Amino acid sequence: MRVRQQGLTILTAALSLTIAAVPPSGIHALEPGSDPGPTKRVRADQWHLTYLNVGEAQRITRGAGVTVAVPDTGVQPHPDLRDNLLDGTDVISGGDGNGQDDLNSHGTGMAGLIAAHGQGENLGALGIAPEAKILPIRDTPGDGQGQPDDLAASIDYAVRHGANVICISSTGGAGITLQRSIEAALAADVVLVASVGNAPQDTVVGYPASAHAVIAVGGIGRNGMHSAISTTGPEVDVVAPAVDIYSTSIDGKYRKGTGTSDATAIVAGAAALIRSKYPHLPAQEVAHRLTATAVDKGPPGRDDEYGYGVIDLVAALTADVPPLGFESVSAPAGGGASTTAGARPGDDDGATVRGLATLGVIVAAGVGWALVLRRRRRGDDPPPRISR
């Protein structure tokens, strides 16, 4: 994860590993009986696909018709990803001008988690939304040190070029220009997904994850519990897998990453699925679906480690979620993915305020929403949709 500070840029610990390269050519037409090597193995290593029941979600939608912008170190046209890669732009100098040059692998990895299409049956990496398009925006050099104004320019470009979702796997300072770009993107009905930060370097949730109406994403490990690397705080909205996450890398290789960057890309893919299934759903309702159907973890209700819970892709695509301001006053028997007016016992005022700020009022859009605290679906409520 990159950290953007006002007047100072810092690169957090690069918790990623580039593993063996795939064959340099002929990848789409492997000979019968040949060993595709890591191209074959990587799918099985993507444990988050099984954990999140991605196969069932992709039988509902695969993200067609949605564009996800990835402002990052650039996105190389990896064989598992290139069919979904659009021409983007370079906000900073030194690239090819189309956002498809990546000297770091971070941006290529994020794009793969969102929209990698693989190379046929169980070959190559698979993203959450493999029919979504990736708009690559190179705003960070190979050393991983970005600037807030460059991220602002990236967001502006993404909005102008029709992005439906923007994945921001970085944190840092809230410069005036960046704040204005965030507000403009929200006013344009774009879903913004951002990482909360990596501990111990980040002690509080950074910007733009801390901004109102931005989906702030934390991380869990293979056991489904809070990952020690995930920054905590009242701004956390949802969590997703963040440990040992395999994805695409540069030069046709694969990477294994650990951090809230990876969780953020996974949630951006989830947002793409929702926008594909419900193309007319406003951005704040997309966020509402993610939180209202999340599987609660930790203390009942929203908490600073898990937010509203672990994302549940299938429930987010299929549950009967009343629109904001029209939540039912009581939950159905059996504990469905539903909502309730008012706070549950044990919920604190801070959690209620955060729910209003994160998923409700978008001042820049001139739209006010009467938002109430949603009831969280407990992890032991039937039917479970996330593998244990």
Instruction: Give residue-wise pLDDT tens across range 184-228.
Output: 999 999 999 999 999 999 999 999 999 999 999 999 999 999 999
Per the structure, the count of domains in the chain is 1
Evaluate whether residue 291 is within a structural domain.
yes
Verify whether residue 387 is a known catalytic residue. Answer: no
* Domain of residue 83, CATH code: 3.40.50.200
Among 48, 78, 106, 212, the active-site one is 106
Among 210, 247, 261, 338, the active-site one is 261
Evaluate whether residue 384 is within a structural domain.
no
Give the list of residues 6+ apart from residue 26 with CB closer than 8 angstroms, or none: none
Residue 367's pLDDT band, with cuts at 50, 70 and 90, is: very low
Verify whether residue 72 is a known catalytic residue. Answer: yes
Residue 96's pLDDT band, with cuts at 50, 70 and 90, is: confident
Sequence-ordered strand ranges (E) for the chain: 2-5, 8-11, 16-19, 67-72, 89-90, 133-138, 165-168, 170-172, 191-195, 215-220, 238-241, 245-248, 254-257, 295-296, 377-378
d(CA 372, CA 55): 32
d(CA 378, CA 388): 13
In the chain, the percentage of residues whose pLDDT exceeds 70 is: 74
Verify whether residue 106 is a known catalytic residue. Answer: yes
Looking at residue 326, what is its pLDDT? 67
- Burial class from Cβ neighbours inside 10 Å (0-12, 13-18, 19+) for residue 365 reads middle
Mean pLDDT, residues 81-110 taken together: 95
Q: Residue 107's domain spans which residues? A: 2-13+37-319
In the chain, the percentage of residues whose pLDDT exceeds 90 is: 68
Looking at residue 252, what is its pLDDT? 95
Evaluate whether residue 208 is within a structural domain.
yes
Looking at residue 208, what is its pLDDT? 97
Evaluate whether residue 302 is within a structural domain.
yes
d(CA 386, CA 388): 6
The residue with tokens 């930060």 is: 197
H helices of 241-382, in order, are 260-277, 283-292, 313-318, 349-359
- Inter-residue contact 282 to 189 (CB < 8 Å): yes
pTM of the prediction? Answer: 0.80
pLDDT per residue as tens digits for the range 280-300:
999 999 999 999 999 999 999
pLDDT at 142 exceeding the cut of 90: no
Residue 94's pLDDT band, with cuts at 50, 70 and 90, is: confident
User: Higher-confidence residue: 226 or 362?
Assistant: 226
Mean pLDDT, residues 341-368 taken together: 29
Looking at residue 36, what is its pLDDT? 57
d(CA 258, CA 265): 12
Mean pLDDT, residues 248-257 taken together: 96
